[in-house]
Chain A
Amino acid sequence: DAMVIQNPRYQVTQFGKPVTLSCSQTLNHNVMYWYQQKSSQAPKLLFHYYDKDFNNEADTPDNFQSRRPNTSFCFLDIRSPGLGDAAMYLCATSRGGQGASNQPQHFGDGTRLSIL
């Protein structure tokens, strides 16, 4: 089945140790998103790629970076994780272009990040 796949499902890292989360998709969607979701809250958009164009949200800390080497893959890099970065990280995709506002986003199951 076409889907959005996030690896790993659970990631533990040490305070200050860089960590990378990955996302792949078989939907051939041109837009990919990264969200941070903390307990009992709505997902918070960190950034998104429209094709190769990177769009950062104004309040996303510099500690968070992203790479999209091709249409199918997108990575979230946290350069120096702090305790406050412990959260669920969700990847999503959608089809961009004309009429795109009608298109839903398709989410992966997320990676739960813990910081020791």
Chain B
Amino acid sequence: GNSVTQMEGPVTLSEEAFLTINCTYTATGYPSLFWYVQYPGEGLQLLLKATKADDKGSNKGFEATYRKETTSFHLEKGSVQVSDSAVYFCALSDLQKLVFGTGTRLLVSP
């Protein structure tokens, strides 16, 4: 079946550092791919998405490119802020449902 694998956290960075959170997927066909962010005590918010190969999703300085050849959708940000501290979930669409990765906690210190 379809699955998503994320790098384990926590990822600990200093403010203004470069961020990469790895995400790879296994799927039949060509699913849409998503990154969601969850701040403490809140629900999940859509951060960005990509619907086909080579699409780049971007939002709030975060980017991810749908790489079919490597089945990856890595999340990147050039300069993280303390306010980016949260849990990040990579997900793919499977018919009407989402398949989530296990989540990666990001901690950014001043």
Q: Residues on A close to B: CB < 8 A?
A: 4, 6, 31, 40-43, 45, 48, 50, 90, 92, 94, 96, 100-102, 104-110, 112
> Most chain-A CB neighbours within 10 Å: which of B96, B101, B102, B105?
B96
Q: Which chain B residues in 12-58 approach chain A with CB under 8 Å?
A: 31-32, 34, 36, 41-46, 49, 51
Chain B neighbourhood of A109, CB < 8 A: 41-43
Chain A neighbourhood of B44, CB < 8 A: 43, 90, 92, 105, 107
B66 within 8 A of A: no
Chain B neighbourhood of A96, CB < 8 A: 96
B11 within 8 A of A: no
When the two chains form their complex, are residues B43 and A107 in contact, meaning their CB atoms are under 8 A apart?
Answer: yes
Chain B neighbourhood of A100, CB < 8 A: 96
When the two chains form their complex, are residues B43 and A104 in contact, meaning their CB atoms are under 8 A apart?
Answer: no
Shortest Cβ gap from A24 to chain B (Å): 14
Q: In the complex, which range does the number of interface residues on chain B fall in?
A: 20 to 34
Shortest Cβ gap from A27 to chain B (Å): 13
Shortest Cβ gap from B8 to chain A (Å): 11
Given A90-B44, A107-B44, check contact A102 B93 (CB 8 Å).
yes
Chain B neighbourhood of A90, CB < 8 A: 43-44
Complex-state Cα separation, A41 to B34, whole angstroms: 17
Chain B neighbourhood of A110, CB < 8 A: 42-43
When the two chains form their complex, are residues A43 and B100 in contact, meaning their CB atoms are under 8 A apart?
Answer: yes
When the two chains form their complex, are residues B34 and A104 in contact, meaning their CB atoms are under 8 A apart?
Answer: yes
Given A43-B44, A107-B43, check contact A101 B103 (CB 8 Å).
no
When the two chains form their complex, are residues A41 and B103 in contact, meaning their CB atoms are under 8 A apart?
Answer: yes
Chain A neighbourhood of B32, CB < 8 A: 101-102
When the two chains form their complex, are residues A42 and B102 in contact, meaning their CB atoms are under 8 A apart?
Answer: yes
Residue of A whose beta carbon sits closest to that of B46: A104
Top 10 nearest A-B pairs (CB, nearest first) are A107-B43, A42-B100, A101-B93, A107-B44, A104-B46, A109-B43, A102-B51, A110-B43, A102-B32, A109-B42
